[in-house]
Every structure is written in structure tokens, then in C-alpha cells.
Structure 1
Amino acid sequence: MSDFKRTLRSLREAAGLSQPQLARLIPVSQSSLSRYESGKQTPDTATVQRLDDVLEARGALRATVASLAPDPPASDHGRRQRIVGRTEVEMGFGGSAALADGVELLPAPYVGVITSETLGIYDTLLNQYAQLDALAGPRAAIGAVSEQLRTLEGMLSQASGPIRVDVARTGARYAEFAGWLAQDSGDHVAAARWSAKAADLAAETGDPYLTSYIWMRRSNVATDAGHAAEGLLLAEAAGRSDQLPADLCALALRQQASAHAIAGRERETAAAIDQALEAVTHGTGRSGLAPYCGPAYLQSEGAAAWVRLGRLDRAAQLLTDALSNWPNDQARDRGIGIARLARAHLLEDDLEQACEIGHQAVVAVQTSHSARALGELGRLRQALQPLHGQRRAIELSDRIQPVLPQQGA
């Protein structure tokens, strides 16, 4: 154990990460990571594997744990523990987190033969849930996805041989999507946990495209929570392969741009945005994992980075171009783009244009039930507050206010 704790601390410091930063990447609590480094607690083998992957130890960290105790066996119903305000269910996937407060996701025993045709139906269902989420927000899909995860966990406990890889692949995609639903509902803790578990499953498949996509999603969870260093580390991991198709290259670069913007690095942000748009416009190949990743989406995400950096002129131009070509099946993301454009005009002191577009944003966002979309509306309303003496600003602010979640609700 002494070799492990010394190696862990050395690798963390070499990566330039603090204990809180590394803990969020795994994710574990900071107190647990501190106990690992002091030798007061023994991590399980799944956690050691994640530490080795995140720190790019190439097996050096795993090599120090041959004498560690094996993972404790999971019961047939999974291991459960209580956290503040939420029931967290640790499933046989090696994953944890509830998708909704007070809901326990218990593994569902699977009865029947596991075939590629069966898994194909689950893949079709996942695509339909994604369409439902894009049109109606995360609440519309969250219950069904949690039920399917229970069944897939039951499948994985029984599967062996080649079909197990296929079950793990489907499970990874569902766990990643559960992470997205949690993120879009405003729960970054659950989002980080589900995304980390999706990464575990993807590693079992050996699929470089799926692995890249999930590392990108983990980066997105980190930057959405304002963590630049973690987001950049994960984005660089997502884009490391030279053989990625255009959409995965573009998404990894988009995440690098977001991380650089949080850190205030304008030149690096500009380069990453330009490279992402070049990749999706002129690059070759598609992974099939990110149908939403087109020029309009990347322009909107790039604009968010420019707003963060205070370059409102560049943000407004990107958003105007994006909204003129936005796909009809991405209503929520279009609403986010409209709200961003209204705020960009407002911050440029163009109140008339900001209010005209802002009213459109309210219509687009109010039925989405998306924390991200509502957050953009909230930021628009906050930007209106200094203009409380102007009639048009008051009218827009008053229209936004009842759409936003009420404190204590």
C-alpha cells in the first residue's frame, strides 16, 4: 500500500492537479482521495483503474496494487447508501447515482436469451429517448431511461463472451445518456457519476469512438460546472486518437474551447473554435454517436465561449449564423441559442434587438424543462436588471420571471 500512496501522489502532482480537482475527475470525495494518499483507506480495483486512466499512468498505478484487497461482492440488489437529499444506488455496472430525488434504481433480473436483436431494440429505444429529450427536455425521458438501465444491469450480470461486449456498449450509451439527463436537469454530481460509469463500460468494449465520446461528455460536465483544468484534461483525452471521425474531433475541440474560455485564454479559444468548425464542415466520417453535432450547434457553443470572454461581437455573429440554419428537431438547443443571442445584443447595448429576440427565447425555452435552457433565460433576465427603468426591459423581465424555477419550489 505504501507504493500505491506514493505513486498516486507523485502522479497527481506531476499532472498539476490538486486533490479536489482529481477527486472530481474520478469522481470520489476529496476526503476519500486524501485517505488513499495517506494510506488510511484502500480503494477498490475499479477506482484504481479510473485513477490510472485519468493520470495516464499506463498501468504503473495498477502495478502497485497487486496486494490490495479485492472488491467486496455486490448483493443481488446492489449496494445502497444515503447521501444528502438523494438516494444513491450503486449498481452492478460499477455505477452510482439516482436520476431523480428519492428514486432508487434497483437492478432488474433479466429473464431470457440475450441476443444482438434484443440489444438492437434497446439501441432504437435510446435514439427515441434522445429525440424526446431534444423536443421536450430531460423530464420526459428520465423515467424510461432509468428503467432500461435496471434491465441492462441485469443483462450484464448474466452475459459472457462476445455478447457481453455488446451489452457493455449498450449500457455505456445508456449510462452516458443518463448523465446528460442529470446534467440538463442541473444535477452535476449525478451527471459526473453516471459519466464516469459510462467510461468504465466503454473501456470494457475497446471501442475508441465510444470512449472518445464519453470522455468528451465528462469534459462537458466539468466545464458546465466551471472547472477549466479538469475540462481541458478530459477534452484532450477525448481527442487524442488520430483516427477519430469529424464529429468526435469537432466535439473534443469544442470542449477545449470551453475550457480555455473559462480560463480566460482568448487565443486558444479562437483556435479551438475555428478548428472545430473546420472539422465538422470539411472533415470526413461520422461516429453515429452525435447526430446533433453540426455547424449550427458548434457555432452556438462557440458563441457561449465568446460571451464568457466578453467578445460579444463575435458571439452575436456566430449565433446569427447558427439560428438561420438550426435543425427543426433540436428545439431545446435552438432556445438556448436564441437566449444567448438576446443576451449578446443586450450586453452590446442594443436593447431593442435584445428584447425582440428575448421574447422569442421565452417561447422557445418555457416548455423545455431544461436547466441549461432556463439558466440562459435567467442570465438574460439578470442582465436586464440594470435597465429596470426602461419599459421594454421591464416587460421582458416580467415575462421571463414566471418561467424560471421559483426558489424553494
Structure 2
Amino acid sequence: MAAANPARARFGAWLAAARLNAGYLTQQAWADALNGLAGAATLTRAEVGRWERGVRVPDAWLGLIAESLNVPLADLAAAAARVRRARPRPSASVGGPPWRGIASAESTTAAWSADAIGILGPIQDGASPGRSSGLSGAPLEDLLVYLDEQWHALVKADNLLGPRHALIGVSSHLAILQELAAEISETKRPAVIGLAARYAESAAWLYEDSDDPSAAARWTTQAMEWAYQAHDDVMLAWTLFRRSQQAAASGHHAEALGLAQAARRDDEELPGPMRAAVLVHEATVRAARGGSAESLCLLDGAHALASTDVAGDARYGHGSYCTPAYIELQRGRCYLASGRAHAAIDQYERALPALPPVYRRDRAAGQVSLAVAYARAGHPDQAAAAALEALPIAQATGSGRIHAGITRLADTLRPQASVSEVRALLDTLDAGAA
């Protein structure tokens, strides 16, 4: 196996986070924008993917990248030069895939900062074997307490602002944890990689919400590996649940059901909100497989375990988003899966106002599901209006997942473009794509 180059991987995935910050929700959208600036259609989505995975440094495109991301070319070129000089280092994940580090910037805004680029420096300077980056000089317990608190803050940032703002912070702290794990003693490593697993799972979710399922799957696998090494059975169960969600999103419902059942195999050991989240997900999978009665029973059981988190910072652990209102939103989803569009409409309209304000993307996702229910019930005007209500949140947060749902709905409504609300939705989407 070739030696990993963490600096190149971090730089590449910083590009991914910066792309989202600049408003390009997909790699293809960014490739199209760069081709437009170049005046030629020579750049492919696959090549952008190689940049973001750290396979290649985009030297020939740095000027246009700086222009498209609105960052200083001199700083970008200097960072790229440091990446090229960095030496590879063996992966810390022995026997598994090399660590795929991502963005190393602390800013949670769209702006490029000198600090963001500067973070790459110490890691590269200490990349040669036998040299320490200096992280191990800090008190380990203090670092872990700090990073644990920052994880809660980043969860809240994600709920309020979405992946465009949270991904850079998650990436920066993952880089610190990876560097720390490579330096500390074997006895202390489980505590570090246990926290790294939590951050990796957050990275997986942020990429999933950005509509990048391949990156989401990689980070879920990494989180699972780290959770296993750390002997963290609770986190391991959560990664099985997340893989189940990803399988369901791909239409592999039998696999999704098996993974969900595996996640709650030892559910007495899991915190209540986590158990509730797994039950709710299993309910939606069963509904998609035609088991509507079973799904509704599972939702009823989840209520006894529901979270009371209204702050959106996961203080109750994974699954804290699974509030009573969220469970009732998923009841609407189960109705929709079983062909009961009118029941789904009633359910969504009751549940949406009850969501805690911090879960604004859950509200937007619910609005999209409500729009789908209206469309299936034969109300294209109300469907388009509901989708339009969700669109600003998708655009502001960089939620490619929600934006893709709105786009799919708009495509189904296109034959009814003579309806004024549908026309408004199509025109708004077309204007945003221009």
C-alpha cells in the first residue's frame, strides 16, 4: 500500500468544504463554473473528485479556483506548494485504508483566512518520521475536553447553518485528532480515536447532507473502524444505523433492515434517544417494504424513548434530534410510503409547527416531503408552494440533499408548468442554476 499523504488529503478536502461554502452544491456544478471561467469544457467532475480526494493538486487551475472561490491566489498557491513539498506518512489505520483527512480550516464562514491556510503548515512540517508536530505537548485531557465541547458546538452549527458552515470546523478538529492519535501512547490512543470516530461520523453526515454519498460512505466506514478499535459499542451501533440509512437512501431496503436490526441488537445498552432514532428509521424502512402496520407500532414505541433536546447540540448523545415532533414527521413519511397521501398531508401539517426551531433543516426536509404528498394527492399548486418554502434553507445551508429533493419534485411537476406556483418554482430553480 502506498504511503498516505495527510497534507494533500487535507488540502484536497479543504477544497471540497470551500466549494460548498462558495455555493457549488455538487462537484459537477463547480466543474461547470470553472469551465465557464476558462472558456472551454475541458474539466470533468471526475477530475474535481481527484482534487478533493487529494489524488492530484490542481496546479494548472489554481488561478480559476481562486477566482471561483473568491480567495487570494497568492495564499492558495503557497498552500498548494507546501502540500507538494510534504512527505508521505504511513497510515495510522493499520490493515485498513489510509486516513482520508479533510479540510483543515477553523473558519466557519465562506471567507478564506490566513489561519485556514496556516493550519496546513505545522502538519506538513512535522510530517517526516520521527518529528513531532507539537500536539502531544498539550495536556491530553484538556484537549479531549475541548474537542468534546467543540463537537457539541459544531452539531448545533450544523442544525442552525448546515454543512456549508459546519464542515470546515469538523474537518479541522478531525485533523487534530488524527495527528494526536499518531503521537500518543498505545494506552491513551483509544480515548482519542473514540472521539475521532464521533467526528468522522459527523463528517459522514455533513457530506451526506451535501449530497455526496460516496464521501459519506467512506467516513461512515472510517467511523466504524475507529469505534471498533476504541471498543466503543455504542458508537459502533450508531455507525451500523448510519450505514442502514445510507442503504435505504440507495433503495437497498433489505440490507437497510438488516443493518437497523443489527444496530439495536443490544439496544438495552444504548441511550434512549439513540434507540428511538433506530426504531424510527426501521419504521420507515418497513413502510417502504409494505409493512405499514409494523412501522406505526415501531413509531409508537419510539415515543417512550424520544429526546427532549431543543438546543440542537446533542447533549443527550446521538439521536438527540429524535424528538416527539420528529417522530411524528416520520409517521407522515410512513403514510406516504404506503400510498396514503392525504393522511401524510394532515400528519406533516400537524408535526411541522411542533419542531424545535433549531432543527430548521428537519423542517425544510419535512416541507419537501409535504410537497411530495401534495403532488401525489393531485395538488400541484400546494406542492410547489411547499417546496418553495424549503428552498431558501437548502440554498443557505448548502444542503444538497434537500435541494436535490426539491429538484426531483420540480421535474415531476414540470408538465404542469401552466400552474402559477409551479412556474414560480421552476423559474426560481432555473435562476439559481444559471
TM-score between the two structures when normalised by the length of structure 1: 0.70
Q: Kindly provide the CA deviation profile for residues 107-145 of structure 1, in whole angstroms up to 9, marking residues without a partner as x.
A: 874341452221111111122222222222212122232
Counterpart-to-counterpart distance in 1, 2:100 and 2:284? 26
The answer as to 2:366 corresponding to 1:345 is no
In the other structure, the counterpart of 1:137 is 162
Instruction: Assess if the C-alpha contact under 8 Å between 1:277 and 1:299 holds in 2.
Output: no
In the other structure, the counterpart of 1:294 is 323
Counterpart-to-counterpart distance in 2, 1:270 and 1:144? 38
Instruction: Assess if the C-alpha contact under 8 Å between 1:74 and 1:92 holds in 2.
Output: no
Match for 1:279 among 284, 296, 305?
305
The answer as to 2:377 corresponding to 1:335 is no
Q: Kindly provide the CA deviation profile for residues 259-300 of structure 1, in whole angstroms up to 9, marking residues without a partner as x.
A: 334434434433333333343279xxx852232221222332
In the other structure, the counterpart of 2:333 is 304
Instruction: Assess if the C-alpha contact under 8 Å between 1:226 and 1:262 holds in 2.
Output: no
Q: What is the deviation of 1:147?
A: 2.3
In the other structure, the counterpart of 2:399 is 370
In the other structure, the counterpart of 2:279 is 253
Counterpart-to-counterpart distance in 2, 1:158 and 1:272? 45
Structure 2 residues without counterparts, runs of 5 or longer: 13-45, 55-89, 104-116, 128-132, 309-314
Counterpart-to-counterpart distance in 2, 1:121 and 1:304? 38
Q: What is the deviation of 1:99?
A: 4.9
Instruction: Assess if the C-alpha contact under 8 Å between 2:234 and 2:269 holds in 1.
Output: no
In the other structure, the counterpart of 1:92 is 92
Aligned pairs for 1:17-56 (under 5 A) are: none
What is the root-mean-square deviation in Å for CA atoms of aligned residues?
3.2
Instruction: Assess if the C-alpha contact under 8 Å between 1:339 and 1:377 holds in 2.
Output: yes
Instruction: Assess if the C-alpha contact under 8 Å between 2:163 and 2:209 holds in 1.
Output: yes
Instruction: Assess if the C-alpha contact under 8 Å between 1:223 and 1:259 holds in 2.
Output: yes
In the other structure, the counterpart of 1:40 is none
Instruction: Assess if the C-alpha contact under 8 Å between 1:209 and 1:248 holds in 2.
Output: no
Counterpart-to-counterpart distance in 2, 1:397 and 1:88? 34
Q: Kindly provide the CA deviation profile for residues 239-275 of structure 1, in whole angstroms up to 9, marking residues without a partner as x.
A: 1113322211111112222333443443443333333
Letter in 2 for 1:343: V
Q: What is the deviation of 1:320?
A: 1.8
Counterpart-to-counterpart distance in 2, 1:350 and 1:333? 23
Structure 1 residues without counterparts, runs of 5 or longer: 1-71
Instruction: Assess if the C-alpha contact under 8 Å between 1:137 and 1:332 holds in 2.
Output: yes
Match for 1:382 among 411, 414, 420?
411
Q: What is the deviation of 1:171?
A: 0.4
Counterpart-to-counterpart distance in 2, 1:227 and 1:78? 36
Instruction: Assess if the C-alpha contact under 8 Å between 1:182 and 1:190 holds in 2.
Output: yes
Counterpart-to-counterpart distance in 2, 1:395 and 1:79? 44
Instruction: Assess if the C-alpha contact under 8 Å between 2:136 and 2:184 holds in 1.
Output: no
Q: What is the deviation of 1:148?
A: 1.8
Counterpart-to-counterpart distance in 1, 2:181 and 2:92? 8
Instruction: Assess if the C-alpha contact under 8 Å between 2:385 and 2:421 holds in 1.
Output: no
Structure 1 residues 155 and 309: alpha-carbon distance in aligned structure 2, compared to 1, 3 A threshold: same
Structure 1 residues 188 and 354: alpha-carbon distance in aligned structure 2, compared to 1, 3 A threshold: closer
Counterpart-to-counterpart distance in 1, 2:295 and 2:412? 24
The answer as to 2:251 corresponding to 1:233 is no
In the other structure, the counterpart of 1:26 is none
Structure 1 residues 392 and 145: alpha-carbon distance in aligned structure 2, compared to 1, 3 A threshold: closer
Structure 1 residues 169 and 371: alpha-carbon distance in aligned structure 2, compared to 1, 3 A threshold: same
Instruction: Assess if the C-alpha contact under 8 Å between 2:287 and 2:337 holds in 1.
Output: yes
Counterpart-to-counterpart distance in 1, 2:3 and 2:293? 49
In the other structure, the counterpart of 2:201 is 176
Q: What is the deviation of 1:169?
A: 1.4
Q: What is the deviation of 1:352?
A: 4.8
SS of residue paired to 1:324: helix
Structure 1 residues 386 and 278: alpha-carbon distance in aligned structure 2, compared to 1, 3 A threshold: farther
SS of residue paired to 2:188: helix
Counterpart-to-counterpart distance in 1, 2:140 and 2:321? 29
Q: Kindly provide the CA deviation profile for residues 199-250 of structure 1, in whole angstroms up to 9, marking residues without a partner as x.
A: 1111223233222222211211222222212222221111111332221111
Q: What is the deviation of 1:92?
A: 2.2
SS of residue paired to 2:356: coil
Instruction: Assess if the C-alpha contact under 8 Å between 1:296 and 1:325 holds in 2.
Output: yes
Alignment length, in residue pairs?
327
Same amino acid, percent of matched pairs? 30
Q: Kindly provide the CA deviation profile for residues 8-30 of structure 1, in whole angstroms up to 9, marking residues without a partner as x.
A: xxxxxxxxxxxxxxxxxxxxxxx
Instruction: Assess if the C-alpha contact under 8 Å between 1:116 and 1:163 holds in 2.
Output: no
Letter in 2 for 1:157: A
Counterpart-to-counterpart distance in 2, 1:386 and 1:270? 34
In the other structure, the counterpart of 1:21 is none
Q: Kindly provide the CA deviation profile for residues 142-193 of structure 1, in whole angstroms up to 9, marking residues without a partner as x.
A: 2232222122111112223553221121100111011111111111111111
Structure 1 residues 261 and 91: alpha-carbon distance in aligned structure 2, compared to 1, 3 A threshold: farther
The answer as to 2:356 corresponding to 1:317 is no
In the other structure, the counterpart of 1:123 is 148
Structure 1 residues 112 and 373: alpha-carbon distance in aligned structure 2, compared to 1, 3 A threshold: same
Instruction: Assess if the C-alpha contact under 8 Å between 1:303 and 1:315 holds in 2.
Output: yes
Structure 1 residues 141 and 346: alpha-carbon distance in aligned structure 2, compared to 1, 3 A threshold: same
The answer as to 2:421 corresponding to 1:392 is yes
Match for 1:150 among 175, 183, 189?
175
In the other structure, the counterpart of 2:236 is 211
Counterpart-to-counterpart distance in 2, 1:381 and 1:362? 11
In the other structure, the counterpart of 2:213 is 188
Counterpart-to-counterpart distance in 2, 1:281 and 1:141? 22
Letter in 2 for 1:399: T
